[in-house]
Amino acid sequence: MTLAERAGLAGAARREAVDAVLARVREAGLAQVRVAWGDLHGTFRGKTLVLDAEARALASAFDEGIGFVSTILLKDTSDRTAFKVFDPEAPAALPGLRGANNLLLLPDPASFVVLPWAERTGWLRAEPFFADGSEVPIDPRRVLQRALAALAQQGWQMRCGLEVEFHVYRLADDALAAEAAAWPAEPPAVRLLHPGYNLLAEDWADMAHEALGIVRENALALGLPLRSLEIELGPSQFEAVFGAVDALAAADQMLMFRNGMRQALRRAGYHASFVCRPPLPNSIASGWHLHQSLVHAADGRSAYVRQAGDLPAGAGPGDARHLLSDTGAQWLAGLLAHARGMAALCAPTLPAYGRYQGSVMAPQAALWGRDNRGAMLRVVGQPGDPAIRIENRLGEPMANPYLYTAAQVFAGLDGAARSLVPPAATESPYAPAPVMLPTSLGEALDALAADEVMQQGLGGPLARVIETVKRQELARHAAAVDGEAWLRREYFGRY
């Protein structure tokens, strides 16, 4: 019995999809296929299969998977393993993981693309399995799949649109001199593409024309629903806006965009970084704004729309029910109720918490507003608008998209289950508020540990991994002689 059969994935539909991929690979004369998996930090890991004329290595991988070391699931942002995997007690904390044992990556044929920037190279997303075909519970993508399955039980589907801020620089020195090797390595020396402080300036867009063209052409070639590329406020800062798609597809696309653009731009002499705030003078923190809506699975109608004539008595413009259906208002309330608990999943790095302490158009408190970019949650749209949605402005662009999105589902479903009622919309998002957002990663991890809904949604094993990995990062930063140098090497050169 093959791994695909043990995992319950074999069947006529998969066989047809696999055969179609193999035919495309042979017809295109591809020399290799990268098989990738998204790790805890939203970086693709994997192996490259070398192809003969019959693509036999790829055909075997579709049936039997590809072995990879399980410690990859337990790494911090410096690639240090956060668990003592050779300790005899390790299996009790992380069932199925001991002694740096093997797991198996099983490629998904539906994910196949030909990489536009890499000659004769295909790409596939894979999912990790144990040898007996059982799922790996600490795989972040599995967490989102479970969350969306719970959503489907209520008759709903989630759609997400992404607004991602990031930085792109011209490489001045790639810092790859052999004598400079270190763990982590020094990031490259860079030059700005535009001087910043001129939001949406067309002149600045023209200055960055070549780099933005690389982003545009490669994103579209990957099938990503890119709608616009914009000049952000900070020096060499940009924003990419994507059309709304199914939540799982949106998370997959975020990983492909983030990893793919770094690769394509690097080949052309640029350094792209999705670090919240690059460790460079006068840089401005980047956010990742997650637009979300629910639709009825049966007919695709928005579950957020309040029908005409259905306005509750006394619901004024500051009442969420003036804009949203009861379901939408409850979802909004759930997001607010779990704002502190979800923060570490939406903003998992040390630099991210500077955004919540006075950064430009970033939230400081668990508040919502009607088209108010200072609030954590911005409701966009008018009463009765089928495109009405909630924008969560809590996230940073280094967040794992599966965990960021799953956190929304955990919180929203809890709000609906308990029929929570949100407070009135804020007009003063930077005034003192009853619930302030965490001001450090350590505080956010404490809040995550105390949030039963988040803990249950993640599951015990993954919750332990996140806690252990992130506490290790905090401890290493605290022990660093030069904290700024630590941040520069830990994040900027790698993410």
Provide DSSP, 255-315.
HHHHHHHHHHHHHTTEEEE--SS-SSTT-----EEEEEEEEETTT--BSSBPPTT-PPTT-
Residue 47 shares a structural domain with residue 181: no
Helix (H) or strand (E) holding 129: strand 121-129
* pLDDT score for 445: 98
Say yes or no to pLDDT of 380 above 80: yes
Residue 271 counted as domain residue: yes
Residue 483 counted as domain residue: yes
* pLDDT score for 463: 97
Residue 141 counted as domain residue: no
> Could you tell me what percentage of the chain is helix, strand and coil, using 3-state DSSP and rounding each to the nearest 5?
40, 20, 40
Contact 275, 164 (CB under 8 A): no
Q: Which of 194, 190, 216 is nearest to 203 (CA)?
A: 194
Contact 301, 399 (CB under 8 A): no
Which backbone phi and psi does 234 adopt, to 5 degrees? Answer: -75, 160
Say yes or no to pLDDT of 360 above 90: no
* pLDDT score for 358: 66
CA distance 112 to 108: 8
Residue 292 shares a structural domain with residue 436: yes
Residue 98 shares a structural domain with residue 246: no
Strands 66-69, 288-296: parallel, antiparallel or unpaired by DSSP? unpaired
Mean pLDDT of 181-206: 95
Mean pLDDT of 167-194: 92
Residue 126 shares a structural domain with residue 182: no
The pLDDT confidence band at residue 164, using thresholds 50, 70 and 90, is very high
Which backbone phi and psi does 316 adopt, to 5 degrees? Answer: -95, -175
Residue 428 shares a structural domain with residue 479: yes
* pLDDT score for 318: 85
* pLDDT score for 306: 87
The pLDDT confidence band at residue 175, using thresholds 50, 70 and 90, is confident
* pLDDT score for 199: 95
- Sole residue written with tokens 């158009």: 361
Q: What is the domain extent for residue 365?
A: 147-492
Residue 162 shares a structural domain with residue 260: yes
Residue 30 structure tokens: 């591809």
Provide DSSP, 30-73.
-SEEEEEEE-TTS-EEEEEEE--TT-HHHHHHHHH-EEEEGGGG
- Sole residue written with tokens 């506490």: 471
Strands 189-192, 156-173: parallel, antiparallel or unpaired by DSSP? antiparallel
Please say which residue of 77, 110, 136 terminates a domain. Answer: 136
Mean pLDDT of 281-303: 96
Mean pLDDT of 353-362: 82
Mean pLDDT of 206-216: 98
CA distance 4 to 488: 42
Residue 266 counted as domain residue: yes
CA distance 400 to 38: 9
Instruction: Say how many domains are in the chain.
Output: 2
Mean pLDDT of 377-390: 93
Residue 151 structure tokens: 């959503």
List all residues 6 or more positions away from 284 whose beta carbon is below 8 Å from its beta carbon. Answer: 196, 232, 233, 234, 235, 237, 277, 359, 360
Residue 163 shares a structural domain with residue 224: yes
Residue 186 shares a structural domain with residue 311: yes
Model confidence over 221-258: pLDDT tens digits? Answer: 999 999 999 999 999 999 999 999 999 999 999 999 99
Model confidence over 394-439: pLDDT tens digits? Answer: 999 999 999 999 999 999 999 999 999 999 999 999 999 999 999 9
Residue 280 is part of a domain; what is its CATH number?
Answer: 3.30.590.10
Contact 278, 490 (CB under 8 A): no
Burial code (b: 16+ CB inside 10 Å, e: under 16) for 12-31 equals eebeebbeebbeebeeeebb
Point out the least confidently predicted range of 277-291, 315-329, 363-377. 315-329
Say yes or no to pLDDT of 91 above 60: no
Residue 264 shares a structural domain with residue 407: yes
Residue 485 counted as domain residue: yes
Residue 21 counted as domain residue: yes
Say yes or no to pLDDT of 132 above 70: yes
The pLDDT confidence band at residue 359, using thresholds 50, 70 and 90, is low
Residue 21 is part of a domain; what is its CATH number?
Answer: 3.10.20.70
Q: What's the pTM?
A: 0.97
* pLDDT score for 311: 72
CA distance 413 to 469: 27
The pLDDT confidence band at residue 309, using thresholds 50, 70 and 90, is low
Please say which residue of 84, 111, 136 terminates a domain. Answer: 136
DSSP code for 366: S
Residue 283 shares a structural domain with residue 326: yes
Please say which residue of 72, 104, 136 terminates a domain. Answer: 136
The pLDDT confidence band at residue 310, using thresholds 50, 70 and 90, is confident
Residue 211 counted as domain residue: yes
Residue 310 shares a structural domain with residue 290: yes
The pLDDT confidence band at residue 307, using thresholds 50, 70 and 90, is confident
CA distance 58 to 25: 9
- The per-type count for the chain, helices as H runs and strands as E runs, is 16, 16
* pLDDT score for 96: 85
Residue 86: C-alpha distances to residues 92, 132, 362, 433, 460 (Å): 12, 22, 43, 47, 21
Residue 118 shares a structural domain with residue 180: no
Point out the least confidently predicted range of 32-41, 379-388, 411-420. 379-388
